[in-house]
A and B are shown apart, each in its own frame.
Chain A
Amino acid sequence: MNCDELRDHYELYTLGFADDPELSEIRAHLERACPTCVPGVRGARELITLIGAAAASVEPPARLRKRVLASVGGQTASRWNWSPVWAAVAVAALVAAAVFDIRAHRASSELTQASAELAQVQAESAAQTRALARLNQAFAILNQPNVKQVIFGGGAPQPPRGRIFLDPARGVLLLASNLPPAPAGKTYEMWVIPKATGSQPVPAGLFQSASDGTAIHVLPGPVDVAGAAAIAVTIERAAGATVPNLPPVFAAGL
């Protein structure tokens, strides 16, 4: 097909609505850097993007900037402090932030994702019950004032990333991202690695990551945090293992 015949399909392609043969033709034109179709589709993407930008203008809460920057370890100074109004907003945001734990914010984001996953399995009451129990266990761990927190995955190019929360009485909570779904017939297994020489890794439960690479796993109940050297995750057969399959997908030192 020539470019004139494809012109009316650029926006449909950008929205994901193009059907064959136009879909295949546009892809082929883009692959060969067609001087007509590349700018044509680019213009279509501009149009579609502007639809998104046309959503009713809403001022985000001032605390959101601090929260976003805190999540990447950034500074949180406001750029709006030239205005007394904005200064007042900034002060209010700082006061709010002081009483609102950023760590709980991030965990809440992950748990929101888990809640969304839960909605997908509402028809399966048993699975729903298990998921609710997991969330309750996660909240129970997060709510402990002296919970130990470990961040893992920084530095490597595309590592699994996340946080591990440990409470001696309540257990271990793992929040991870960049964790691709385990291969067919396999599962992820968490391990508590003891400090004591000669001690074997302790199995800490099986879990799967979501399709977007996020995962939440809870090991409920008492755990010897003081005697643990690391938390590790391995890929095991679906039934799990009693001895870890090395090397681990990741290990977080405590």
Chain B
Amino acid sequence: MLLLPLLLAIEFGESDPDLVRRLQRRDPRAMAELYDRYGRLVYALILRVVRDGGIAEDLVQETFLRVWNRVQGFDAERGGLGPWLLAVARNRAIDYLRSAAGRMRNSVELPETEHPALFCDMEKELLNSDRVRRVRVALEKLSQNHRAVIELAYFEGLSQAEMAEKMGEPLGTVKTWVRTALKSLRDELGTAVSA
């Protein structure tokens, strides 16, 4: 039953560019549409990073507010709204982790605005539960160390040097694991990503 709203959003919802234009016109109903489309993804991502429901709620609100405040500069024809929203969400959550741990800002941050053409329109990919399930399966297929470096990089925002310190492994080893893990994911999901 929970998938039905997502399927409806995919099949009958507006395209991202239309939604962006309504957000740029400051239409609050567009924000409702945006939340209904991506709220669950954003909440799940942030909760995975901060592991605290109350903090996740605060950061979800900050994420949507940030998008609302910055959407005027977003080129709807050149970039996808969903990937941008997730990048903002992930960076807000990582920022929180850094602040809470007193870490310096030398960790991995996904760019939010550079090269907007790279924020491809992948609305259906993000909302397609089968596609997401394949990603989960691909992650589970990775070896323990390979999966660990991907998760430390993405969900904790650690640099490779920080990962090496945390895992007690040489930096060169961690770099090899990262490269191998990413190649494995690319090989496993190549068709899924580009479909």
A residues lining the B interface (CB < 8 Å): 8, 11-12, 14-17, 30, 38, 41-61, 64-65, 67-69, 71-75, 77, 79-80, 83, 85, 105-106, 108-109, 112-113, 116-117, 119-120, 122, 157, 161, 177-178, 211-212
Contact = CB atoms under 8 A, between A and B. Distances in A.
A211 B96 CA distance: 13
Interface of B: 1-2, 5, 28-29, 31-32, 35-36, 39-41, 43-45, 47-48, 53, 55, 57-58, 60-62, 64-65, 68-69, 72, 82-83, 86-87, 89-90, 95-96, 99-102, 105, 108-110, 115, 117-120, 122, 125-126, 129, 131-132, 135-136, 139, 150, 153-155, 159-160, 175, 178-179, 182-183, 185-186, 189, 192-194
14 contacts: A15-B108, A38-B118, A47-B186, A52-B89, A53-B135, A56-B44, A59-B2, A64-B61, A68-B31, A68-B61, A72-B31, A75-B29, A112-B58, A211-B105
Contacts of B28: 69, 72-75
B154 A15 contact: yes
A88 to B, nearest CB: 14
Given A17-B178, A45-B119, A119 B102 contact: yes
A151 to B, nearest CB: 13
Contacts, number: 188
A156 to B, nearest CB: 12
Given A52-B89, A64-B39, 15 more contacts: A15-B182, A30-B118, A46-B83, A47-B189, A47-B193, A54-B135, A65-B39, A68-B61, A72-B31, A75-B29, A77-B32, A79-B36, A105-B61, A108-B58, A119-B99
